[in-house]
Amino acid sequence: MEEKKKLIVLIGPTAVGKTNLSIKLAHRFNCEVISGDSMQIYRKMDIGTAKIHIDEMDGIKHHLIDIKDPDESFSAAEFQQLVREKIEEIHFRGRTPMIVGGTGLYIQSVLYDYQFTEAPGDDLFRKQLEHKAEVEGYLVLHNELKGIDPTSADNIHPNNVRRVIRALEIYHTTGKTMSEYQSRQKAELLYDVALIGLTMERDRLYERINQRVELMVSNGLIEEVCSLYESGLRDVQSIQAIGYKELYEYFNGKATLEDAIENLKQNSRRYAKRQLTWFRNKMDVNWFDMTDEESRQKNFHGISDFIAGKLALKSNK
């Protein structure tokens, strides 16, 4: 029986401090980092996705960043394939892969024998739903899904119209819900995984999120989104990302700049809450607190010891 490949996975809500810790761990365990963020794949979307800068990488090789143009689509199935290929490549080079991010379904699809449904599509039905969302609003579709498949509705944000439509399409073409397909997935891990989650006291996390948004704005977020808007980018997956959809409302004249920024903060806080709930319900995570400097220092050593013990890896002290 083939030995499972070793893999470090670092997850947690937005603004909890994954990036800084990942660089320290990568140096300690001879890692290459694979981004586990569904939006950092897009070029020209740097500030709003909190994309790591090249100087912050500190010589650590990163993968799955800037691999798509903003008008291209990207799916969990494509992510699964690309990440598994990268894991093989990194091991071939004698290094340890480390996935870092907060997009739960994407990361779960890599770790487990997760089979994406082969349910057929229906172009006409999909176009009808797209038109319905445009005319009546995306909440109409989400409420429709809630009546058919409440489990999937709870796991898919109403703003993620593409996934809501896909869930409705699966039911339309097969008579089975998306959650029925997902419940059949095997729970066995495909890798020898050290699964680490970062958490923080709620008030402190929300304070960091608000500060991060203000820093993004001062660093040019409005100009970044304006450039995408003026390029004619509309109705694509990338601009549904938090940080972009709110400012599109401003550029479309549907919100003041002040309201758009406040909505961005609020949506980011809500997203962080959903991330924590998702990870706690879906994965067997080893949690470490990052609330203050003392906790971060203490738990860096705790995380390092956990990885070394779990994966029998030697660390570079």
Inter-residue contact 42 to 227 (CB < 8 Å): no
Q: Is 117 annotated as a binding residue?
A: no
> Was 14 annotated as part of a binding site?
yes
Question: Is 12 flagged in the annotation as binding?
Answer: yes
Q: Does 17 count as an annotated binding residue? A: yes
220 known ligand binder: no
Residue 103 annotated as part of some ligand binding site: no
User: How far is Cα 122 from Cα 214, in angstroms, rounded to an integer?
Assistant: 43
Question: DSSP of 248-304, one letter per residue?
Answer: HHHHTTSS-HHHHHHHHHHHHHHHHHHHHHHHHHHS--EEEE-SSHHHHHHHHHHHH
Task: Name the phi and psi angles at 115, rounded to 5.
Answer: -100, 120
- CA distances (Å), 115 to each of 11, 22, 81, 211, 261, in order? 22, 29, 11, 39, 38
Is residue 16 marked as binding? Answer: yes
33 is in an annotated binding site: no
With 0-12 CB in 10 A as exposed, 13-18 as middle and 19+ as buried, what is 287? middle
What are the φ and ψ backbone dihedral angles of 78, each rounded to 5 degrees? -65, -40
> Backbone phi, then psi, for 52, in 5-degree steps?
-65, 135
Binding site members for substrate: 14-19
Binding site members: 12-19
Binding site members for ATP: 12-19
